[in-house]
Structure 1
Amino acid sequence: MIRLLFIFAFVGISISAQQTVYGRITDEEQHPIPATLVMNMKTGFQAYSDLEGNFSINGNFGDELRFVRKGYERVSLLFNNENPRYVSITLYRVAVAIEEVKIEQVKLTGNLETDSRNLTKIDKAEILNAEIGVPKPPEKPRETPPPTVKQVGVLLYALSNVMNFNHLYKNISGDARRMRTQYRYEDLQDNILWIRKRLDDDYFTNAGIPEEKISEFIAFSFHDNPQIVTAIKAKSLTKAMFLMEEKMPIYLERLKVK
């Protein structure tokens, strides 16, 4: 009987000792940081902050909570009576000295998964520059393809071909169509790369998306909701994440059908 009471008392103490820590993760300017890994180093429990930087994770007194986000300094917090159950965590960007790096231009193959993987691996100097805030050099402008009927109407389209022999040649030869197709593909790759530079693969795999399907899912979400591309142009990662998360269940259902 005494042994049974001892077991109940021990279980009760263990349950009471385990608590849930809530909190919010922001940068030095108090902007929320989503997709931050929160890990209990003793139990191995993991959680991620949401779009507003909020998180919750279970732990016992004495456990170390670690906050990890690519591009930011790591923060650790000891869970004890001195720290409240709701905490505010501030992560600071990592300043990295950039060595001179020779960047080889990658030729797009036309295969979505291959190109996305290659583009993700290259341009490490550009990633560091972006994290630190170094402005990019001006990009080389594209050659503008001839206007389409949908863009300018039938009359102006006809005048464009009559007044500009180059436009007429490109429309007849199919060069104009190929240019527009190539530009759309390059824009798609740029937008996929923009997302993958800012979100770790764990963000997608934890939602059930296979690692080899991440770029495919991102492209699917762009097609299903063009507002995601608009958010990328506005440099709004939070909005892009919110809109992509709405498409995750739909994409996962399609994977099951396949």
Structure 2
Amino acid sequence: MKRLLFFYFLLISIAICSQTISGTVISEESNPISKVLIVNMTSNQKVYSDNVGNFSIEGKIGDELRFAKERYKGEKIIIINNLLKVVLQQLPQEIEEVKIINKRLAESQEEKLRKDIGLPKGPEKPREKPVGAKEVLLPLLGASLNVDNLYKWLSGNSRRLKNRYKYEDLQEGLAWIQNNVDLEYFAEAGILPDKFNDFLMFSLKDEKVLMYMKAKNVGGITVALDNNIATYLERITKK
């Protein structure tokens, strides 16, 4: 009898400790969301939702699941049963008209504040457009030659401007990632804080990382960086 009870409790323990968690990922409008990255933060197992938003992942009660998807706000769920329904909130998509309106509103508020306190308007420093081969070669075909453009192109000024702007944009993008991604998520996956910058530089060879960094898409950058974790960890382990 004692042996039977032992095996009974053993089976119960196994069932509690390890089971398949199934679920569905949907939008706020109850539409299924496919290709959502789901990560068990305890076991680091990763799966993606299928075409109708369904997924299955190994886990146990109390494990934390995290969900990431381009254009959606990330979500964290603590497993309380083996059947989940997860709702992801879609992030608002900024359109160019909204950016222009917001910029003009900010400029008008800044101008009003400047006048109220009696400060002179500061000098504007817009980015100088680098001269390309097109601006230099086309005038040679008939239009008047712009000597200043020709000098900037031949002297390397345009190349230096492009490199400087590229560097500034890269630094801005890396700072945005640091301030917006969930660093704990990557620490749990093996990318410790002191290695995160090195991991970012390693991941920049991935076009999707560059694309989502430029678009400032949190869900997209999380998924894109996640796809580089295994390769990065393998590289540093071999060193």
**TM-score exceeds 0.5:** yes
Contact 1:49 1:55 in 2 (8 A): no
Distance 1:72 1:257 in 2: 32
Q: Match of 1:225, as an amino acid?
A: D
Matched, 1:88 2:85: yes
Please give the secondary structure, in 1, of the residue aligned with 2:131. coil
Q: Do structure 1's residue 4 and structure 2's residue 17 form an aligned pair? A: no
Structure 1's 177 and 239: CA in aligned 2 closer, same or farther, altered over 3 A? same
Aligned counterparts of 1:214 and 1:162: Cα–Cα separation in 2: 49
Paired position in structure 2 for 1:230: 211
After superposition, the Cα gap between the structure-2 partners of 1:12 and 1:91, relative to the gap in structure 1 and judged at 3 Å, is same
Aligned to 2:165: 183
CA gap 1:219/1:158 in 2 versus in 1, 3 angstroms? farther
Q: Determine which of 194, 197, 201 is the counterpart of 1:219.
A: 201
Is the Cα–Cα contact under 8 Å of residues 28 and 92 in structure 1 kept in the other structure? yes
Alignment-derived partner of residue 107 in structure 2:
none
- Please give the per-residue CA displacement for 1:172-212, whole angstroms capped at 9, x wherever unaligned: 66543332111111222233345445531133233322322
Query: What stretches of structure 1 of length at least 5 have no aligned partner?
Result: 40-44, 80-84, 94-129
CA distance in 1, matches of 2:232, 2:238: 10
Taking a change above 3 Å as real, the CA distance of residues 161 and 186 of structure 1, as seen in their structure-2 partners, is: farther
**Cα distance change, pair 231–69 in 1 and its aligned pair in 2 (3 A):** closer
What is the CA–CA distance in structure 1 between the aligned matches of 2:198 and 2:226, rounded to whole Å? 14
**Could you tell me which residue of structure 1 aligns to residue 146 of structure 2?**
163
Letter in 1 for 2:233: L
Tell me, in whole angstroms, the C-alpha distance in 2 between the residues paired with 1:154 and 1:51.
50
Indicate how the Cα distance of structure 1 residues 252 and 67 shifts in structure 2: closer, same or farther if over 3 A, else same.
closer
Counterpart of 1:189 in structure 2: which amino acid? Q
Q: Does the alignment pair 1:144 with 2:144?
A: no
- Structure 2 unaligned runs (5+)? 105-124
Give the distance between the partners of 2:155 and 2:78, measured in 1 at CA.
62
| Alpha-carbon distance between aligned partners in 1 of 2:6 and 2:178, rounded to the nearest angstrom | 50
Q: Does 1:56 align with 2:53?
A: no
Q: If the length of structure 1 is used for normalisation, what is the TM-score?
A: 0.54
**2:187 maps to what in 1?**
205
The equivalent of 2:22 in structure 1 is 22
Change in 2 beyond 3 A, CA 1:209/1:72: closer
Maintained 8 Å contact 2:23/2:86 = yes
Aligned partners of 2:136 and 2:153 also within 8 Å: no
Supply the AA of the counterpart residue of 1:230. Answer: M
1:255 equivalenced with 2:236 (yes/no):
yes
Is 2:74–2:88's contact at 8 Å kept on the other side of the alignment? Answer: yes
Aligned-residue RMSD, C-alpha: 4.6
TM-score normalised per structure 2: 0.57
Deviation of the 1:51 alpha carbon: 5.0
Task: Report the number of matched residues.
Answer: 203
State the AA in 2 paired with 1:144.
K
Aligned counterparts of 1:158 and 1:248: Cα–Cα separation in 2: 50
Q: Deviations over 1:199-230 (max 9, x none)?
A: 311332333223223233223222x2334323
Shift of 1:26: 4.1
RCO comparison, higher one (Cα < 8 Å, 6+): 2
